[in-house]
Amino acid sequence: MTLPAVLDFVGVSVFAVSGALAAGRKQLDLLGVVVLALVTAIGGGTIRDVLLDRNPIFWLANGSYILVIAASALLTVAYARWRRPPRSALLVADALGLALFSITGAQIAERTGLPPVSCVVLGTITGSAGGIVRDVLSAEIPLVLKRGNLYATAAIAGTATYVALEGLSVPRPIPSFAGMAVIAGVRLAAILWGLQLPVFELDSSAEKR
Amino acid sequence: MTLPAVLDFVGVSVFAVSGALAAGRKQLDLLGVVVLALVTAIGGGTIRDVLLDRNPIFWLANGSYILVIAASALLTVAYARWRRPPRSALLVADALGLALFSITGAQIAERTGLPPVSCVVLGTITGSAGGIVRDVLSAEIPLVLKRGNLYATAAIAGTATYVALEGLSVPRPIPSFAGMAVIAGVRLAAILWGLQLPVFELDSSAEKR
Amino acid sequence: MTLPAVLDFVGVSVFAVSGALAAGRKQLDLLGVVVLALVTAIGGGTIRDVLLDRNPIFWLANGSYILVIAASALLTVAYARWRRPPRSALLVADALGLALFSITGAQIAERTGLPPVSCVVLGTITGSAGGIVRDVLSAEIPLVLKRGNLYATAAIAGTATYVALEGLSVPRPIPSFAGMAVIAGVRLAAILWGLQLPVFELDSSAEKR
């Protein structure tokens, strides 16, 4: 198996865990849990493949993805019945999924010969789309839009790091791992220490003047 | 016309009725009703065609789909002005659309040579995506996620039945009709008798231990 | 540059402004503003290209779109810090984006040889999808569904005008500009004077009988 294929499987598993944990907060039934895990796990890669017109979509031709996702979701449920997962488990699983999918999205875009800025945007979409679909279906405001969590920021910083190091011909797989480290690091720093970017607040910024 | 084409038209009509009824609860204007009916009716099949890279998308090349949908939506409005549709009409129309679209999605996936588990997932997506888009646009929590209605369960059970009977070489069109009967039966049983699967409730299951 | 390409850039800019203004009401951080602007600006054209299987997607091969969008979003933020944008700025930017994207969507569909009714629907989807994604991600009920704003109505009326004038062989670019004028005119009339279509209200219409 190639590195992107392995990362796809790992990314799919951690997003499945994050989908199952989100489902647990919504009190879905067991198949509902599997469905939310599936949508979360295949959402980003599916949008990547559709936008790049890659055919077939990664999980359609190879049934293993769906089985890995269903197994990850059910193991999450089984674990949660035995021991309470910490509140932070959803955020950590989501951060790892974001890191893995953003970089694989940027890798595939780069290999297609797209310009650097498109690689950054496509990587960010690949990484965040699954979580966005999970949050929209759970009727939550998407994490990516919640203030002060550096979600899109992390994905953009990490994929830009990856694209820059590749452009400098840094030997592989250093650019990939550096990019993932930036993404996971920025996200976890935002979660742990409350780092944030300046906020664009339309009404109050206007009232100050 | 082939059986899948006929089923596409019937599925599109019942989903158009369900979209129009949902629009009536949101007090949209007449074209808003047609738009919500359209999105509901073409959502699932469009996602199916995009994922399978089928070209052109089923409703683009053949203008009849859109005319059938608009007519179904306006007839629903006209009927509702004359006589109040029962509360259950939306749920029944939705159950029939789910049955028809899930099975045609699984059929087309199977004919493309995809593995059985992908046929089940693609069929379930085809069946439920239109209703999910309808609910997301209406700012409702999607039916597919609401606890205890066996929505995804019905689609998965029915498409699995279809795939299994096809695998056993049961003569057509028995597998299709058996699959649709399972889907509509499970959904209607859940609506009528409140059948449900075990629920994964993250916080309270943890508190019990 | 061809006319559709120029219109794509203008449409992308005004939708970026509308996305940035919507982000300001949600108090996102600076990159969140750029992300919401991006999604709003590329949403409609991306769905158009995916449905028509156009390859590559318009913004992927040409990095300028993303740079134009990011610049438009940041200029909107800078302007808003200096002077308060009027409440109507979001609605006007959105109306112009709707007009531009609906007509380019219909143009491209027509050149693909699709039937007139499909051109109208594809144009309407192209025009409204970006704003719908913006509103869904901002956890707002989409403008397109809010009663009495003639949103879908405007897009349908304008693309139908375009298709009809093209069918009558009216010399170009008259059909395009006439279609855009109808869309922007109907939307702005609805905003200014509260024009609206009859409403389909399921429960109260039933209670009257």
Is residue B206 included in any domain, yes or no? no
Interface touch B32/C206, C-beta < 8 Å: no
* Better-scored residue on pLDDT, B2 or B12: B12
User: CA-CA distances (angstroms) from residue A200 to A193, B170, C33, C92, C114?
Assistant: 21, 62, 8, 20, 43
The answer as to whether A173 is a domain residue is yes
Taking residues A27-33, what's their average pLDDT? 79
Q: Looking at the partner chain, which of B52, B117, B202 has a beta carbon nearest the beta carbon of A25? A: B202
Q: What letter does residue A112 receive in the DSSP assignment?
A: T
pTM: 0.86
Q: Would B126 be classed as within a structural domain?
A: yes
Is A183 in contact with A161 (CB distance < 8 Å)? Answer: no
DSSP calls for chain B: --HHHHHHHHHHHHHHHHHHHHHHHHT-BHHHHHHHHHHHHHHHHHHHHHHTT-SS-HHHH-THHHHHHHHHHHHHHHHHHHSPPPTTHHHHHHHHHHHHHHHHHHHHHHHTT--HHHHHHHHHHHHHHHHHHHHHHTT---GGGSTTS-HHHHHHHHHHHHHHHHHTTPPTTHHHHHHHHHHHHHHHHHHHH---PPB--HHHHHHT-
Other C-beta atoms within 10 Å of B113: how many? 10
Name B44's Cβ contacts closer than 8 Å, sequence gap at least 6: B15, B101, B105, B125, B126, B127, B128, B129, B130, B131
CB-CB contact of C17 with C33 (8 Å) = no
Query: Taking CB atoms and an 8 Å limit, are B28 and C199 in contact across chains?
Result: yes
For residue B29, the cross-strand partners are C199
Does residue C185 contact residue C160 with C-beta atoms inside 8 Å?
Answer: no
Of the listed ranges B63-72, B158-167, C31-40, C156-165, the one predicted with least confidence: C31-40
Compute the nearest-CA separation of A16 from chain B (Å).
15
Per-residue pLDDT tens for B140-191? Answer: 777 777 766 778 889 999 999 999 999 999 998 899 999 999 999 998 888 8
Whether A208 has a pLDDT exceeding 70, the answer reads no
C52, B62: Cβ pair inside 8 Å? no
What average pLDDT does the segment A27-40 reach?
A: 84
Higher-pLDDT residue of C199 and B69 is B69
Q: How many C-beta neighbours within 10 Å does residue B8 have? A: 24
- Name chain B's partners: 3 or more CB pairs within 8 A: A, C
Question: A70 burial class (0-12, 13-18, 19+ CB within 10 angstroms)?
Answer: buried
C202 at interface of B, judged by CB pairs closer than 8 A: yes
The pLDDT assigned to B148 comes to 65
Classify residue B14: in a domain, yes or no: yes
| Structural domain contains residue B205 | no
Residue A58 domain-assigned (yes or no): yes
Q: Do C144 and B33 touch (CB under 8 A)?
A: no
Q: Is the pLDDT of residue C122 over 80?
A: yes
The ipTM assigned to this model is 0.82
Helix, coil or strand: residue A201 = coil
- B145 contact A CB<8A: yes
Q: Is residue C209 scored above 70 in pLDDT?
A: no
> Which positions in chain A touch B105 (Cβ < 8 Å)?
none
Per residue in A117-168, pLDDT (tens digit) is 999 999 999 998 888 888 888 777 777 777 667 788 899 999 999 999 999 9
Portion of chain C with pLDDT greater than 90, in percent: 43
% of chain C surpassing 70 pLDDT: 89
| Among the ranges given (B104-113, C23-32, C124-133), the one the predictor scored with the smallest mean pLDDT | C23-32
Give the B window 92-131 contacts with A, CB below 8 Å. Answer: 109, 114-118, 121-122, 124
- CA–CA separation, C192 vs C172, rounded Å? 30
Residue B87 in domain: yes
Tell me: pLDDT of B206 over 60. Answer: no
Residues of A in contact with B117 (CB under 8 A): 63, 66-67
Model confidence at A48: pLDDT above 80: yes
- Cα-Cα-Cα-Cα dihedral sign, residues A130, A136, A138, A140: positive
> A205 vs C80: CB contact, 8 Å cut-off?
yes
Judging contacts by C-beta atoms under 8 Å, the chain C residues touching residue A116 are 63
pLDDT value at position A155?
92
Give residue C147's pLDDT: 65
| Residue of A51, A144, A200 best to disrupt the C interface, most CBs of C under 10 A | A200
Measured CA to CA, the distance from residue C209 to residue C196 in angstroms comes to: 24
- Domain membership flag for residue C170: yes
Give the single-character DSSP code of A29. Answer: B
Provide the domain limits for residue A107.
3-197
Closest approach of chain C CAs to the CA of A10, in angstroms? 26
Best probe of the C interface among B40, B53, B60, B75, by most C CBs < 10 A, is B60
C202 pLDDT band (50/70/90 cuts)?
A: low
Q: Strand, helix or coil at B116?
A: helix
Contact status, residue A200 vs residue C80, Cβ threshold 8 Å? yes
Residues from chain B contacting residue C51 (CB–CB below 8 Å): 46, 50, 57, 60
- Asked if B173 has any chain C CB less than 8 Å from its own CB, the reply is no
Inter-chain touch B55–C53, beta carbons under 8 Å: yes
* pLDDT over threshold 70, residue C198: no
Tokens encoding B47: 């996602």
Residue-wise DSSP of A59-102: HHH-THHHHHHHHHHHHHHHHHHHSPPPTTHHHHHHHHHHHHHH
Give the pLDDT score at B147: 65
Tally of structural domains, chain B: 1
- On the question of pLDDT at C184 being above 60, the answer is yes
Task: Give CA–CA dist A185/C138, Å, rounded.
Answer: 26
Give the pLDDT confidence of B83-136 residue by residue, as tens digits: 877 777 778 888 888 999 999 999 999 999 999 999 999 999 999 888 888 888
Tokens found for residue A24 = 């647990």
What gap in Å lies between CA A125 and CA C42, rounded to an integer? 12
Query: What is the average pLDDT value for chain C, to the nearest integer?
Result: 85
Nearest to A38 among B109, B121, B141 (CB): B121
